Structure 1
């Protein structure tokens, strides 16, 4: 197989890993390595491009791998070993156009004098960036401080949380961090030790995320995140044992955050399939079955992360009486023409039912009788008697490591128990 064929196969096999968060947006990306053959190419726009994007007043690293020419272009945003592959792309007369249909985002750029200049367009906003081919990374600073392990971030969030969890993996001056909240996680943020701190970030098909981790003399860690208007917010992170000694609350239990106002009442829902058929909880097809109802949207990266687990459960247990329904809340233009949702379904190979239910601001109007319904996704587990047996708020994605693997095992065990 020649290199072009090998790269095409690799692009098809890789699963995009991407994130942009509801509630508050971090920003950023770093990436490691590239395929040598691409790095050596200087024709057209082939190669690995490194640069920065301007987002929320921050310079966010961006790394983009491109291969091909004309209308047969393949590209991917690189973050560590993770790739966010483009759905399609073209390069003609110095103009680059890339589409990431599964998030309805795009890159539009021009190549002039060795510099790629353009914008990343995402949900009504445009993020400018510049990049150059095959640039060398700035070296890290000496004597990196060890921050590896778990931390708890003291917060007062809009979802009534008192703490988030910060997971950090470290290898010398390099770190991979992820912030886990009740509604999900930021995805992997990559960074290096420079000038007394770790700037961690990613730039994926969903957009940029960025934060600063700054070790303190008292053993705590400052977490600095972008805020509206180009300002920043600063939080204090402590080791779990430090947080307990200080009398601080633990992160919320995702099985206790959301609950029914009346547990004896069934979860009422209704939506339309992409073919226009109305489906509701009262349909005879659901009678006597175990049903998972997940509330999400194709704009939601945590929902993209949850979908493969739901699909694996559906394929494993559907013949034993499991049904799965995704209630998708989309913006007005996507409700009228759900191209992003269709692309997400195709990208992830989903075969369970996905229903268009309303716009995100209609969540509590469409789903009634539920307290603290404020996170995407929120997943309801319904027994064969039609009653809700468990509600899980948010989703711990692959970036959270052990938390993700534990959640997969616990969810599988819960479904088996309900089916029995």
Structure 2
């Protein structure tokens, strides 16, 4: 064989190998789903590959993403770990399909379990008949009583023709962004970002209401009815809970105190020098709580903005008992979100009331306590409305920053006795208007 022929043959082999590699690449967008309680939960999964490096990404509408904390591929087997949620996707690739299992903990009464998973290469849907999709955009209210004292939930919808993005906002926080399209008289909307798996069918009714039927984890069994906010008022339905009044404190003059170990076992106390004359945000939280993940992103922003101005953020993390030995999820949570503020292990979720006795009607995850320089709790904000809640997230951020800045503006406290009951310093508290329009 001549040199020229050998060169041509070698080039053909290289091109052939490259084609095989490209054909076997998992990179791109996948239409994925897993089955929970007999319900298939669709979600978007993106995979990227760079040499031997592989990464998976889950989506929360168009606002936020969750990326793998670890991932690996061995020929046609791929494992995508989201360790901050203890969620793992394990699948085998066969052409344009992935089949396997999704491991996670999505029901209160169960520990981690495996669920059937499959995915296919994404293909753009055929154009929907947007003209046939009725307008459901805006703010709605769903009369619904819960054990936490709620009388109603909010239902927040953005719409673009036959496509919609919605969120159910409760006192704890929201469902994440539910996305989907209109077909055969209903919207089928779903969400999964490593947690909060949910499928919602929204059907407009002739009387102007919406029937909202939920399936997945933590969902009511009966269909819910959503009313426009003004219609709900005219019918005399109770409003959704006020996030700034749901939880209070037993004594406004009592200093807020805590003493818990950090992730390394070192005890941290509210009496430590680092908290002297500081404004403190004390967060009742848990890494098992999806809404707490939402808030952590925002707390990282607040920490960067206000730490040098006198703000200290302290997370009182109530970790599930089976996680307390290794703290694997807590450590992954801290690393994934880049948490630099103080993060303490306060106990198990069932111990919350014992460990935070000063709070009254404390029953949301998360709950944020605004503590002044004098050690007194000035405000408790229940839950966290994420960016999926639109204007309610904007409003929350305005109220958080206004409250923090008002507390920072107060004069330093001097010679306050450890158990003193000096009168509260005065400041302007952020006004609360929970009827914001989207």
| TM-score greater than 0.5 by the shorter chain | yes
Q: List alignment gaps of at least 5 residues for structure 2.
A: 1-20, 106-111, 410-438
Tell me what 1:116 maps to: 98
1:144 aligns with 2:137: no
Q: For the structure 1 residues 75 and 319, does the alpha-carbon distance in structure 2 shift closer, same or farther, using more than 3 Å as the test?
A: closer
Residue 113 of structure 1 and its aligned partner are, at CA, apart by 5.7
1:73 aligns with 2:51: no
Tell me what 1:45 maps to: 26
- Distance across 2 between alignment mates of 1:288 and 1:230: 44
Of 332, 338, 354, the residue aligned with 1:365 is 354
Q: How many residues align?
A: 381
Residue 71 of structure 1 and its aligned partner are, at CA, apart by 4.9
Preserved CA contact (<8 Å) 1:103 1:298: yes
TM-score (norm 1): 0.85
Q: Which has the higher contact order (CA 8 A, sep 6+)?
A: 1
* 398-407 or 184-193: bigger deviation: 398-407
Q: For the structure 1 residues 155 and 202, does the alpha-carbon distance in structure 2 shift closer, same or farther, using more than 3 Å as the test?
A: same
* 261-270 or 288-297: bigger deviation: 261-270
Tell me what 2:268 maps to: 279
Q: List alignment gaps of at least 5 residues for structure 1.
A: 1-39
Which secondary structure does the structure 1 equivalent of 2:192 belong to?
A: strand
Tell me what 1:293 maps to: 282
Which secondary structure does the structure 1 equivalent of 2:42 belong to?
A: strand
1:97 aligns with 2:79: yes
Preserved CA contact (<8 Å) 1:152 1:239: yes
Of 214, 235, 248, the residue aligned with 1:246 is 235
Of 225, 236, 251, the residue aligned with 2:214 is 225
Tell me what 1:4 maps to: none
Q: CA RMSD in A?
A: 2.2
- Distance across 2 between alignment mates of 1:311 and 1:64: 26
Of 177, 183, 200, the residue aligned with 2:189 is 200
Tell me what 2:16 maps to: none
Residue 229 of structure 1 and its aligned partner are, at CA, apart by 10
Residue 207 of structure 1 and its aligned partner are, at CA, apart by 4.9
Which secondary structure does the structure 1 equivalent of 2:73 belong to?
A: strand
- Distance across 1 between alignment mates of 2:51 and 2:321: 34
TM-score (norm 2): 0.82
Tell me what 1:64 maps to: 45
Q: For the structure 1 residues 280 and 405, does the alpha-carbon distance in structure 2 shift closer, same or farther, using more than 3 Å as the test?
A: same
Residue 219 of structure 1 and its aligned partner are, at CA, apart by 0.5
Q: For the structure 1 residues 394 and 231, does the alpha-carbon distance in structure 2 shift closer, same or farther, using more than 3 Å as the test?
A: closer
* 264-273 or 241-250: bigger deviation: 264-273
The within-5 A match list for 1:333-348 is 333-348=322-337
